[in-house]
Amino acid sequence: MKDFDSSLVHSSWLPVLEPLRNDINAVLSHIDVKTVSPGEEDIFRAFLQPLPEIRCVIIGQDPYPTLGHAHGLAFSTNSSVKTLPKSLQNIFIELASDIGNPAPRSGDLSAWSAQGVMLLNRVLTTEIGSANAHATIGWQKITDAVARELGSRDVVAILWGRHAQELAAHFTYRIESSHPSPLSSYRGFFGSKPFSRANHILTSQGKSTIYW
C-alpha cells in the first residue's frame, strides 16, 4: 500500500501523526488495498474531525470484517447496511435504556461524530472476512499516541472492552465497561449507562452535552 497521505486527515492532526509517519508507513506496507476493511479511502476517516472539536472518544477494537460494513468510524456502518452488526444493535439497546433515545435510523453514527465524538478503533484495519487480522502489524503504537493527545485535552473516553482499556491510563475522564459484542455484553456493558455518564462529565467540565 502507498505511503501515508496527509490530505486524508484534518490538518489539526498533523502535529500528532507526522512524527509517526514512518510507523504508519510500516503498518500500511502490510495492507492489501484489495482486501482491506474499511476501504483504503476510509482508513483514516476518524481523523477528518478537527482535533480541537473533539469532546468525547469511543474506542473499540477493530473494524467490522463484513464486506461493505466498515467505513472508518468505530462501531459505525455505512448507511446502506440493513442488518446491523450485533455489537451495534446492543449499543442501541443500551442507548434506549440509558437515556431513552430511539435507535438512529441507520447504523451510520456520523451524527455523533459531527458533535465532537471521535469513533476510534484500537486497530484501524482488518481483512475482509477476518476479524483481528491486523492485530499485530503495529496500529497500537499510532492509536496509543492518539489517545495520549486526546487525554491531554481532557477528552472524555468511553472504553469498551479489554483492547480499548489498554489506553485507560491516558485519560483522566473515562467510562469503562465490557465490549458490546454478544459474547460480553451481559458481563457489564448493559446497564453501564455510558451515554448519560459522558454527558454528566461534559456538563461538569462546562461543555455542552451530546445528543446521542
pLDDT at 183: 87
pLDDT at 105: 85
pLDDT at 5: 93
Of 154, 166, 163, the residue nearest 57 (C-alpha): 154
Question: How many C-beta neighbours within 10 Å does residue 2 have?
Answer: 10
Domain ranges, ordered by start, for the chain: 6-204
Q: What SS3 state is found at 187?
A: helix
pLDDT at 104: 86
Q: List the chain pLDDT tens, one digit each, 212 residues.
A: 778 999 999 999 999 999 999 999 999 999 999 999 999 999 999 999 999 999 999 999 999 999 999 999 999 999 999 999 999 999 999 999 999 988 888 999 999 999 999 999 999 999 999 999 999 999 999 999 999 999 999 999 999 999 999 999 999 999 999 999 998 998 999 999 999 999 999 999 999 999 99
pLDDT at 102: 86
Residue in the block written with cell 446492543: 90
Q: Which fold has domain 6-204?
A: Uracil-DNA Glycosylase, subunit E (3.40.470)
Cα→Cα distances 185→47, 86, 111, 174, Å: 28, 10, 24, 19
Q: 117 forms bridges with which residues in the sheet?
A: 56
pLDDT at 81: 95
Please give the Cα distance from 91 to 105 (Å, whole number): 14
pLDDT at 29: 95
pLDDT at 2: 78
Q: What SS3 state is found at 176?
A: strand
- Residue ranges of E strands in 1-131: 36-37, 56-60, 117-121, 126-127
Please give the Cα distance from 41 to 179 (Å, whole number): 27
Pair 74, 167: CB distance under 8 Å: no
What amino acid positions are annotated as catalytic residues?
A: 62
